[in-house]
Amino acid sequence: MSEPYLPPRKGSIKNPLRIAVLISGSGSGLLALLNHQQSNQSPHITKLIISDNINAGGLRYGEDFGIPAVAISLPDSVSKIEQRIMHENLIHDKLMNYDIELVVLSGYMRILTSTFVSKWKGRLINIHPSLLPKYPGAHAHRDALADGANMTGCTVHLVDEGVDTGEIIAQEEVEILDGDTIEELQERVKKIEHQLYPKVLDTFCSKGV
Ligand code: GRF
């Protein structure tokens, strides 16, 4: 049986929710969020950046914004599942050390195990570059183009035990243009994501329980 969602406390401008952002790559979404938090009165504040990839370009925003940014690579292990659980335990310990209240996935390219999800369910949020339930998984733009779709978009959703199956919080459409490449579509969708995710987080974090 799957666990219920347990939302975070209500964040406020005076007492913002302490966020960790998990990334794997360039971190353009992370940068948009940090800029938003810096230039607006926000009910959330980024206190920690974690990447599973030591070469993730987005790690540099930690230094730029004075926020601890750490790479936690997959540890060596005999079995894949043991390796995933050990890795997630390292991440969980770090989140606890920094009193993190909400985990924001922003281009984090690993699927989390149900063990990790159950610890954070309701306080674990993701943005996916399609209009879910269409095109889940790691190749959303490729799949939308291969399908001949003329509309795609992005979805902010809570993370559950499945892959991109959690409760949808917000979506925004993006038109697919004739001759779009994966890269062109990805860039246009990212521009929308960069506006949507911070705004949705503002609303989500001020709701609370
Ligand atoms: C975004 O399109 C996000 O939806 C997807 O990965 C991309 C992250 O890009 N999961 P970046 O690393 O923030 O530039």
Average pLDDT over residues 18-40: 97
For the domain bounded by 17-207, which CATH number is listed?
3.40.50.170
Q: What number is the average pLDDT over the span 8-31? A: 97
pLDDT at 78: 80
pLDDT at residue 208 above 90? Answer: no
| Distance from residue 78's CA to the centre of ligand 1 (Å) | 30
Average pLDDT over residues 159-186: 97
Model pLDDT, residue 81: 92
Buried b (16+ CB within 10 A) or exposed e, 53-88: beebebbebbeebebebbebeeeeeeeeeeebbebb
pLDDT tens digit string along 57-68? Answer: 999 999 999 999
Q: Which of 28, 183, 186 is the best mutation target for the ligand 1 pocket, counting ligand atoms within 8 Å of the beta carbon and taking the most?
A: 28
Band of residue 168 on the pLDDT scale cut at 50, 70, 90? very high
pLDDT (average), residues 31-44: 96
Q: Tell which residue, 27, 19, 92, has the closest CA to residue 55.
A: 27
Cβ neighbors of 197 (< 8 A, separation 6 or more) are 29, 32, 33, 104, 106, 127, 156
Mutate-to-test residue for ligand 1 from 36, 174, 193, highest number of ligand atoms within 8 A of CB: 193
* pLDDT number for residue 1: 64
Strand partners for 81 = none
- Single out the catalytic residue among 87, 128, 141, 194: 128
Q: What's the rounded Cα separation, in Å, for the pair 2 and 11?
A: 26
Which ligand 1 atom is nearest residue 23's CA? 12
Distance between Cα 163 and ligand 1 center (Å): 16
Active-site residue 128, yes or no? Answer: yes
pLDDT per residue as tens digits for the range 108-156: 999 999 999 999 999 999 999 999 999 999 999 999 999 999 999 999 9
With a cut of 90, say whether residue 56 has pLDDT above it. yes
pLDDT value at residue 62 = 98
CA of 161 to the centre of ligand 1 (A): 20
What percent of the chain shows pLDDT beyond 90?
Answer: 96
The mean pLDDT value of the chain amounts to 97
CA of 106 to the centre of ligand 1 (A): 6
Q: C-alpha distances in angstroms, 106 versus 30, 64, 209? A: 6, 18, 24
Cβ pair 69, 61 in contact under 8 A: yes
